[in-house]
Amino acid sequence: MIKDKVIVITGASSGMGAAAARHLAAEGASVVLGARRSDRIEALAAEIAAAGGKAIAVTTDVTRRGDLDALVEAAVKTYGRIDVLINNAGIMPLSPLDRLKVDEWDRMIDVNLKGVLYGVAAALPYMQAQKSGHIINLSSVAGHKIFGGSAVYSATKSGVRVISEGLRQEMASHNIRVTIISPGAVRTELLEHISEKDIQKANQDYVGQVGVPAETFSRLVAFAINEPEDVGINEILFRPTAQE
Ligand code: NDP
């Protein structure tokens, strides 16, 4: 059941994180929104409250461990516990390796991989004390296969799958569920941050053609949360039907 759950979402300022926040709040969850763009998450929290839902916004940079601790603490302070953490924040500045975008490699590792680990570190002590919880980590189709310019991004997203499976095994006896969600092409702001213009255009053309809306993710994440506590949805891998 989603109703009355306390759900923390990183990267809630746009795309799939924002769509999931709207959907889960409409289903009766209290949502705790984290991202760097405070104006966006504050506006979203106000929109959810105006619609009769429960939401707070906490400015969060997932590359800072203390920010994730503060995000989870805000959930517990405001709503009494944390039932679900959706480690959704991510970046995808794709480029072929020989363009040596080393700063972008660093940022992908910091956000996509270390950001997920910091989220896990912040939430686990509370979930273990509660003897219940659910951690949902965003991987990608790119965590299953490598395509043009995706080597580092794919490394971070396959790393998320590896960490999640290890976590699932370790947390099985603690009544903590772990779900990997691996989307295919979804129309969001993700491609806006690709600095290599040829790679950006090729991806924009493709996702513009086949991509599905962010609400697809909302339905699927809701499905995983909605299953009874003794059922763990280990991974949801989805693509637009038209995606090869
Ligand atoms: P968006 O770019 O629309 O959303 C990404 C979110 O991540 C934003 O809310 C952004 O917020 C947040 N974010 C980025 N860096 C940080 C940071 N340092 N600290 C906190 N938040 C951060 O893209 P999507 O909705 O598509 O992406 C969501 C997830 O889905 C990502 O993990 C992505 O890799 C994954 N994914 C997306 C696919 C797609 O086709 N769209 C396919 C497969 C996986 P802000 O900038 O305000 O901090």
> How far is the centre of ligand 1, averaged over its atoms, from the C-alpha of 89 (Å)?
4
Residue 153 structure tokens:
């991004």
> How far is the centre of ligand 1, averaged over its atoms, from the C-alpha of 171 (Å)?
26
C-beta of 154 in contact with ligand 1 (< 6 A): no
**pLDDT the model gives residue 112:** 98
Q: State which of 16, 104, 109, 157 you would mutate to test the pocket of ligand 1, scoring each by most atoms of that ligand within 8 A of its C-beta.
A: 16
Q: State which of 14, 216, 221 you would mutate to test the pocket of ligand 1, scoring each by most atoms of that ligand within 8 A of its C-beta.
A: 14
**pLDDT the model gives residue 58:** 98
**pLDDT the model gives residue 110:** 98
What are the 10-residue block averages of pLDDT along the chain, 244 residues in total?
Answer: 97 98 98 98 98 98 98 98 98 98 98 98 98 98 96 98 98 98 98 97 97 98 97 98 96
Active-site residue (options: 79, 118, 126, 153): 153
Domains and CATH numbers, the chain: 6-238 (3.40.50.720)
Query: pTM for the whole thing?
Result: 0.99
Q: Which amino acid is at 114?
A: K
**pLDDT the model gives residue 38:** 98
Within the chain, where are the H helices?
15-26, 38-50, 65-79, 102-108, 115-130, 151-171, 197-210, 215-226
**pLDDT the model gives residue 59:** 98
**pLDDT the model gives residue 76:** 98
Residue nearest to atom 48 of ligand 1 (CA): 36
Residue 13 DSSP class: T
> How far is the centre of ligand 1, averaged over its atoms, from the C-alpha of 173 (Å)?
31
What number is the ipTM of this complex? 0.99
Whether 153 is catalytic is yes
What atom in ligand 1 is closest to the CA of residue 112?
32
Which residues, in sequence order, are CB contacts of 5 under 8 Å at separation 6+? 24, 29, 30, 83, 84, 225
Q: State which of 13, 152, 191 you would mutate to test the pocket of ligand 1, scoring each by most atoms of that ligand within 8 A of its C-beta.
A: 13
What atom in ligand 1 is closest to the CA of residue 211?
40
> How far is the centre of ligand 1, averaged over its atoms, from the C-alpha of 35 (Å)?
9
Residue 57 DSSP class: E
